[in-house]
Amino acid sequence: MRNSGFIIFFAIVLSIYGLSNFYLIKRLARALPPTGIVRAVVLVFAIAWAVLFIGGRFLFGTHSGAIGGAAIGFGYFYFAIWNVALWLTLGYDLLRLVNRRIPFFPAGMRADAAAGGGTAFRYILAAAVVVCLLGAWNAARPRLRTETIDVAKATGGIRALKIVVASDLHLSPVLRGRFLGRTLAKIRALNPDLILLPGDIVGEDTPAADREKIAAAFRDLKPKYGVYACTGNHEYFGDLERNIDTLRRGGVRVLLDEAELVAGSFYIIGRKDPTGRRMGDTRQPWKALVAGLNPDKPWIALDHQPIKLNEAVEAGIDLLLCGHTHNGQMFPITQINKFVYEHNWGLLQKGRTFVDVTSGVGTWGPPVRIGTIPEIVLITLRFLPRL
């Protein structure tokens, strides 16, 4: 049943992708010379590039070589251009329809619109390429977001914690060693007491040849109170045991529906991602996870997906850290996500629980961010005595 559901979902997605590409390539054909070698070459190239987004993953999979990574990355970049060009073209075609009823285009645009909008599509395509190049530049430069949170609990001597949160690295054939090295260098420079990784660090397409390098890179992190992680959906999409093993060999404590008392002062709680349920794994409810924990000590929790936040509040979690959303990664998903999740990005207080959802450091698919930024979060968690 699970397999048939996936096949139906994949067929729907593939159909939408195919029809939308047919729509864009028809517009491209109107923008090209009516005959000749240039027209033929550009159309063949466009079709091949569209196919590469899907085919690249199947052809190269977890290929560790430069050619495989470049092919997958090139296909992903088409997806970003497709996304921008599709919405711009739909918007332009809507304006064309309005213009037929209420003419408002200038004379030159009116003639082009009547002929199918070939000239306009050239400008649309150029704009899409420029926007995506800027989005790639943006995605490669994680920024620092800082937050200060006060918790009315005592820790027996620790007055504050400097916590670095880095989620959704999505280490892959596209985001590899240099990306990880730059990210961890930024984290080390912050000199945190504690590093927390709320999932999607390694995943289904992390190259096998990269795994020892990933483990070695994480071993160089030596914060006072350690490095902790929970699983994300992409850890499950790949080989879960191997993904967890990669992190553990790097000195990362991966918590699987577990709680750990750190320095006798505060708890770190890590939840399994709900994706595991579809693969036969179990996921404990919040109240079961905190049963038996000392309620007078701070509870810091990792849960990859920011869903059912009220359950964490009712369980008494002090600070809940999530990722997964990427804050949409690319417009218009940046706006759609706000309707999908109760809290899509940033810091929120619900009752006495603080929830911080990070947009993540890396990207899934295209190494492009449009309308959102990648981030590393530095939280200063201060412990105040109860009044």
Whole-angstrom Cα distance, residue 22 to residue 310?
Answer: 44
- DSSP letters, 114-177, are HTTSHHHHHHHHHHHHHHHHHHHHHHTSPEEEEEEEEES---SS--EEEEEE------SSSS-H
* pLDDT at res. 276: 86
Contact between residue 199 and residue 355 where contact means Cβ atoms under 8 Å apart? no
Contacts of 333 (CB under 8 A, 6+ apart): none
* pLDDT at res. 172: 78
pTM: 0.90
Give the pair of three-digit tokens for residue 86: 């599709």
Token pair 């902790």: residue = 228
Whole-angstrom Cα distance, residue 333 to residue 338?
Answer: 9
The ranges of the chain with pLDDT < 50 are: 1, 387
Closest CA to 81 of 126, 29, 26: 126
* pLDDT at res. 280: 82
Digit-coded pLDDT (tens) for 308-327: 999 999 999 999 999 999 99
Whole-angstrom Cα distance, residue 151 to residue 318?
Answer: 7
| Domains of the chain as residue ranges with CATH | 2-138 (no CATH), 144-383 (3.60.21)
* Pairing of β 375-383 and β 353-357: unpaired
Digit-coded pLDDT (tens) for 36-63: 999 999 999 999 999 888 777 666 655 5
* pLDDT at res. 387: 46
Digit-coded pLDDT (tens) for 142-175: 999 999 999 999 887 899 999 999 999 998 777 7
* Rg of the chain in Å (alpha carbons): 24
* pLDDT at res. 1: 45
The residue count of the chain comes to: 387
* pLDDT at res. 304: 97
**What are phi and psi for residue 138, nearest 5 degrees?**
-65, -45
